[in-house]
């Protein structure tokens, strides 16, 4: 028995089922338990107690002539507290050989149903099944309040020596906190969070929490509509950091508390999607969620998982889709997390030339390891299945694709062909997209990708639905940053973007990355005094909504917040005056027009009218049958003529200089076409262009 004891005591037992539980030995049935915190113990059969003898240091056993199908073990600890439970080792874990096979093949895309903690019932006994992947571990045990956080007291079974460890522990119920005590060859026992934890303690605590998954969804009407969405439908996204949008004093609003406020605001401004910066659990507030540890657990900063489901359900009931920012590229060094999980580089590449990010000091997932592929793809499936999210925005795709991303020569490892493309990452992303699109119609995938890699949004390429148009963002912001007096020299920054506007399917982003770290807020980027800045922002927004591509604005941009975004403070709501309210009216009307007119949200209908009027710094183009004209100077242009295709009356459906938006209200009445040609078009119109303004016109007869 001493060998068994040493194995259990030193937390090195990888097949406890061979020693613990009930076994037929030497002509009788033996029930054996390892109880390192017990003073005495007994077996309970049909409410009758049978004393267990301590045969070795903290190994208790009792002998029976007949096989016992169901029994309990009772013990008293040193404090005098009595524990009673069904023996875990009288049950077999709920893990199938087929799931193990698929997981190791990288094809178990619902691995969250196998791994993690699941409240189940076996043979009429309720409890929790725990399963974790740790192939290099000497042993793994579940620890929590239920066993005084004692490593080795509940050793898990290494299923078929697969490196997948599992145990069913009767009596564990919802809200039980736990971790895995993993005995490693190199670092001894490490207390680790569950990689598949569905809920965790609020930082700075780091334990996983057992939960159920019941929630009464009421969004079937939304899901049915989502299933028929296509690329020609309008997508206008409000990107936000949940913790700093609004705050309750110095505290966060919960998911439930923020729901009515957010829905009212999104209706006021007209966005039809909200994109949450990462909500997967993370330890460090200032990382904004981009250094995630628990990929299946919504952050407990704002409440429980069912509270987030409530928020999403309410958004759906009000016609608003939800996109989640997801970090599939890398994870941090936190000792309780994925890093060196079983004492090895289990989740990341071992070679730092491939497995370490120079810029962020984080660990790059091993995209070629099948089990990691199952983990990452399943995480996205989980968020779609369990939380009904409508889209995923994958962060830092460029860093995933390029082996030499932010690396100098000699600091990276070429692929098998000698190139700089991470073929494993490309394969993972391609499979991720094909899996999402095959299973979930209407759920969109978005890449934050800043290179010229071809095929990001091609079905024959990587297959994302959309890519952030970083080139448009930088070129357009650079142009608007220029003093209007000199914009005529930089107008090419606007007109050139059309050259690649259809190279991919794009989202036009003015994101959080552009309003932090000294880059200045959108307001601060604009030249001139307060009034000129506001006028330029009205013009900028109007130009953005007329340009081909889906739309994304980061919170605060819609009302020209003066300061850079600060994740520790809420937006500057108290600084909203009449001009800022005018901007909110502008955003509402732009979103309404964008959603109402097919010409504005079907992207493949752009044509130039005139991009050569450099001296006046005016450009004009058609979006289907809608004429869009932009005056980028603070000088009014009277009787300005442009060519149009059709005769008739042209009605001004939008003018950024309207008094509703805080402008001077230089409005054009109905405009009749002229019978002389211009700009290669058969007819023409003459309009008055207010300073720093945008005008949309539509022919009433079309």
Q: Is 448 a catalytic residue?
A: yes
CB atoms within 10 A of CB 610: 18
DSSP reduced 3-state for 39: strand
Burial class (CB in 10 A: 0-12, 13-18, 19+), 122: middle
With b for 16 or more beta-carbon neighbours within 10 A and e for fewer, the 449-481 pattern comes to bbeebeebbeeebbbbbbbbbbbbbebbbebbe
Q: What is the DSSP string of 370-439?
A: HHHHHHHHHHHHHHHHHH---EEEETTHHHHHBTTTT--TTSS---TTS-SB-HHHHHHHHHHHHHHHHH
Tokens of residue 548, six digits = 């081909």
d(CA 291, CA 280): 9
Closest by CA to 293, choosing from 330, 252, 324, is 330
Q: One of 239, 342, 395, 449 is an active-site residue; which one?
A: 395
CB atoms within 10 A of CB 404: 16
DSSP reduced 3-state for 238: strand
Tokens of residue 360, six digits = 């962020």
Q: One of 307, 371, 448, 657 is an active-site residue; which one?
A: 448
Map 149-165 to HEC letters: CCCCCCECEEHHHCCEE
CB-based contact 630:674 (threshold 8 Å): no
CB-based contact 22:58 (threshold 8 Å): no
CB-based contact 24:65 (threshold 8 Å): no
Query: What value, to the nearest 5°, has the Cα angle with vertex 525 and ends 522 and 526?
Result: 100
| Distance set, CA 361 to CA 15, 331, 333 (Å) | 37, 9, 8
Backbone angles phi, psi at 607, to 5 degrees: -150, 140
Q: Is 395 a catalytic residue?
A: yes
Q: Tell me the HSE value of 572 on the side-chain side, using a 13 A CA sphere.
A: 17
d(CA 217, CA 443): 18
Residue 581 neighbours by CB under 8 Å, 6+ apart: 559, 662
CB-based contact 338:296 (threshold 8 Å): no
Query: What value, to the nearest 5°, has the Cα angle with vertex 454 and ends 450 and 457?
Result: 80
Residue corresponding to tokens 């694709």: 401
Q: What is the DSSP string of 491-520?
A: THHHHGGGGGTTSS-EEEEE-GGGGSTTS-
Backbone angles phi, psi at 64, to 5 degrees: -140, 150
d(CA 396, CA 327): 7
Residue corresponding to tokens 């978005």: 446
CB-based contact 160:131 (threshold 8 Å): no
CB-based contact 378:108 (threshold 8 Å): yes
CB-based contact 237:553 (threshold 8 Å): yes
d(CA 329, CA 432): 13
Which residues belong to the active site? 395, 448
């Amino acid at each position: 028995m001493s060998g068994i004891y040493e194995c259990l005591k030193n937390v090195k037992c990888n097949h406890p089922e061979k020693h613990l539980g009930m076994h037929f030995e030497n002509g009788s049935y033996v029930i054996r338990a390892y109880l390192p915190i017990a003073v005495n113990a007994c077996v309970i059969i049909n409410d009758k107690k049978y004393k267990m003898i301590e045969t070795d240091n903290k190994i208790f056993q009792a002998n029976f002539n007949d096989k016992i199908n169901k029994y309990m073990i009772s013990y008293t600890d040193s404090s005098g507290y009595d524990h009673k439970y069904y023996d875990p080792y009288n049950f077999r874990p709920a893990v199938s050989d087929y799931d193990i096979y698929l997981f190791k093949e990288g094809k178990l895309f619902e691995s969250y149903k196998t791994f993690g903690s699941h409240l189940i019932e076996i043979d009429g006994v309720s409890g929790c099944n725990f399963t974790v992947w740790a192939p290099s571990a000497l042993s793994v045990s579940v620890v929590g309040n239920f066993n005084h956080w004692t490593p080795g007291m509940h050793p898990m079974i290494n299923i078929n020596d697969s490196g997948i460890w599992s145990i069913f522990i009767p009596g564990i119920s919802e809200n039980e906190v736990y971790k895995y005590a993993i005995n490693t060859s190199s670092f001894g026992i490490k207390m680790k969070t569950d990689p598949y934890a569905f809920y965790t303690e609020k930082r700075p605590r780091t334990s996983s929490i057992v939960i159920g998954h019941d929630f009464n969804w009421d969004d079937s009407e939304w899901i049915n509509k989502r299933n028929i969405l296509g690329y020609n439908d309008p997508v206008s996204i409000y990107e936000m950091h949940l913790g700093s949008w609004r705050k309750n004093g110095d505290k966060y609003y919960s998911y439930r508390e923020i729901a009515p406020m957010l829905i009212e605001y999104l209706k006021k401004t007209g966005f039809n999607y909200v994109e949450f910066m990462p909500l997967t659990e993370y330890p460090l507030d200032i990382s904004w969620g981009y250094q995630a540890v628990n990929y299946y657990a919504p952050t407990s900063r704002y409440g429980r998982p069912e509270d987030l489901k409530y928020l999403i359900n309410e958004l759906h009931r009000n016609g608003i889709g939800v996109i989640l920012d997801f970090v599939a590229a890398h994870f941090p060094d936190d000792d309780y997390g994925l890093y060196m999980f079983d004492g090895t580089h289990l989740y990341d590449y071992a070679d730092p030339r491939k497995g370490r990010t120079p810029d962020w000091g984080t660990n790059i997932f091993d995209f070629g390891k099948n089990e990691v592929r199952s983990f990452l793809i399943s995480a996205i499936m989980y968020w779609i299945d369990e939380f009904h999210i409508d889209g995923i925005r994958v962060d830092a795709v460029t860093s995933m694709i390029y082996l030499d991303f932010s690396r100098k020569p000699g600091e990276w490892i070429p692929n098998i062909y000698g190139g700089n493309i991470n073929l494993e990452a490309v394969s993972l992303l391609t499979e991720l997209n094909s899996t999402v699109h095959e299973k979930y119609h209407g759920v969109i995938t978005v890449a934050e990708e800043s290179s010229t890699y071809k095929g990001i949004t091609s079905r024959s390429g990587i297959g994302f639905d959309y890519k952030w148009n970083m080139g448009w963002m930088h070129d357009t912001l650079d142009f608007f940053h220029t003093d209007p007096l000199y914009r005529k020299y930089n107008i090419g920054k606007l007109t050139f973007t059309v050259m690649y506007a259809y190279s991919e399917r794009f989202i036009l982003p003015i994101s959080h990355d552009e309003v932090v770290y000294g880059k200045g807020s959108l307001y601060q980027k604009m030249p001139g005094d307060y009034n000129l800045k506001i006028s330029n922002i009205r013009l900028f927004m109007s130009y953005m909504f007329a340009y081909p591509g889906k739309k994304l604005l980061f919170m605060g941009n819609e009302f020209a917040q003066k300061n850079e975004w600060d994740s520790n403070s809420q937006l500057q709501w108290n600084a909203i005056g009449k001009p800022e309210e005018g901007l909110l009216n502008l955003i509402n009307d732009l979103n309404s027009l964008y959603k109402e007119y097919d010409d504005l949200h079907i992207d493949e209908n752009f044509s130039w009218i005139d991009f050569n009027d450099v001296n006046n710094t005016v450009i004009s183009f058609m979006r289907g049958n809608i004429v869009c004209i932009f005056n980028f100077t603070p000088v009014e242009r009277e009787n300005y003529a442009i060519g149009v295709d059709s005769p008739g009356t042209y009605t001004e459906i939008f003018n950024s200089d309207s008094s509703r938006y805080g402008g001077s209200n230089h409005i054009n009445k109905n405009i009749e076409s002229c019978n002389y040609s211009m700009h290669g078009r058969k007819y023409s119109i003459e309009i008055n262009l207010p300073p720093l303004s945008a005008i949309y016109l539509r022919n009433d007869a079309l």
